[in-house]
Amino acid sequence: MKLFVALLVVGLPALAAAHSWIVCTDYLENNGWYWDQAKCRGWPRAATYYNLRFGAFGTHIDNNYTWRLDNHPEERALCREPRDDDRRYTEETPMAAYFLGQEVVLTHPANNHVAESKCRWRNTMDWENLMFVVDGDDDPCCIDSPKLIQIMDMGVSPYGRELSDEVLATYPKPGFQNVPKFCEDPDDAMGTYNFTIPMDLQPGRHIFVWKWIRDPAVPPFTTCWEADVFATKAGRDAHYLATGRSTEDMWDFYKVHNIVDGVIMDPVDPSINEIITG
């Protein structure tokens, strides 16, 4: 009985840590397996303060649980850190730059929220994953603000008792639970999303907002950041070159690596890859 109680006490904080946040706002690898801070070109507000770059990915145990860039906008402002471009970005964690039509990759920690029968429950919900751009230069008041213009619905992940192990363990998945290495580290494994910059967005600096509802009974989570949007990739590239960053575009893990039965069989033979991808 004593052991059971001890387990409960240890287990509860992990279960209660029902949080997540965007760690990188312009990541170089879509559907990747493991976080690599060197692949991150753009960061959300206050990323240096929250130690998102050099800290362990997804960690939120340090400093008495205060170092989590998560946010419940029903309880606080829509954005955890109010807009202040000069102070929210640093040389180490600069603001992202996008171009019209770009497919942008975002990363986030799983924080136990993946339906994976091999190591967790099959019925871990995923309810809504949306991207917004803000109309205007000020933070909107709240999650229902008409200033939030939806630009992408990133889908939801499959979950449910009736689903097979195969469905639940197949990646990539749409939605939040696109976390291929979840079972290796359910708390801190990396998930990725991608979203597209609309072709009709006005070039210039914009506020972007991510919203995740994991369960309709739980308030949504949000992360806010700025990005400079360029009309063309050439414009974006010039900006990244001038600030010492890569001009590579998103590449997909499954196109770059040759995966056989869950094992990376690199180096990829380009001719084989061409046959696989079409």
Contact footprint for ligand NAG (CB under 6 A): 30-31, 62-64, 154-155, 172, 174, 194, 252
Question: Is the Cβ of residue 185 or residue 252 nearer to ligand NAG in the bound state?
Answer: 252
For the CB of residue 211, give the shortest distance to ligand NAG in the complex, in Å.
14
For the CB of residue 3, give the shortest distance to ligand NAG in the complex, in Å.
26
The length of the chain is 278
For the CB of residue 64, give the shortest distance to ligand NAG in the complex, in Å.
4
Residues 110/175, Cβ–Cβ less than 8 Å: no
Q: How far is it, in rounded angstroms, from Cα 229 to Cα 49?
A: 24
For the CB of residue 251, give the shortest distance to ligand NAG in the complex, in Å.
10
Question: Is the Cβ of residue 82 or residue 172 nearer to ligand NAG in the bound state?
Answer: 172
3-state SS, one letter per residue, for the chain: CHHHHHHHHHHHHHHHCCCCCCCECCECEECCCCCCHHHECCCCCCCCCCCCCCCCCCCCCHHHHCCCCCCCCCCCCCCCCCCCHHHHCCCCCCCEEEECCCEEEEEEECCCCCCCCCCCCCCCCCCEEEEEEECCCCCCCCCCCCCEEEEEECCCCCCCCCCCHHHHCCCCCCCCCCCCCHHHCCCCCEEEEEEECCCCCCCEEEEEEEEEECCCCCCCEEEEEEEEEECCHHHHHHHHHHCCCCCCCCEEHHHHCCEECCEECCCCCHHHHHHHHC
Question: Is the Cβ of residue 151 or residue 154 nearer to ligand NAG in the bound state?
Answer: 154
* Residue burial 10-38, b: 16+ Cβ < 10 Å; e: rest: eeeeeeebebbbbbbbbbbbbbbbebebe
For the CB of residue 182, give the shortest distance to ligand NAG in the complex, in Å.
17
Question: Is the Cβ of residue 62 or residue 144 nearer to ligand NAG in the bound state?
Answer: 62
Question: Is the Cβ of residue 82 or residue 155 nearer to ligand NAG in the bound state?
Answer: 155
For the CB of residue 51, give the shortest distance to ligand NAG in the complex, in Å.
12
Q: For residue 193, give the amino acid letter.
A: Y
Question: Is the Cβ of residue 96 or residue 156 nearer to ligand NAG in the bound state?
Answer: 156
Question: Is the Cβ of residue 26 or residue 139 nearer to ligand NAG in the bound state?
Answer: 26
For the CB of residue 244, give the shortest distance to ligand NAG in the complex, in Å.
28
For the CB of residue 154, give the shortest distance to ligand NAG in the complex, in Å.
4
Question: Is the Cβ of residue 228 or residue 252 nearer to ligand NAG in the bound state?
Answer: 252
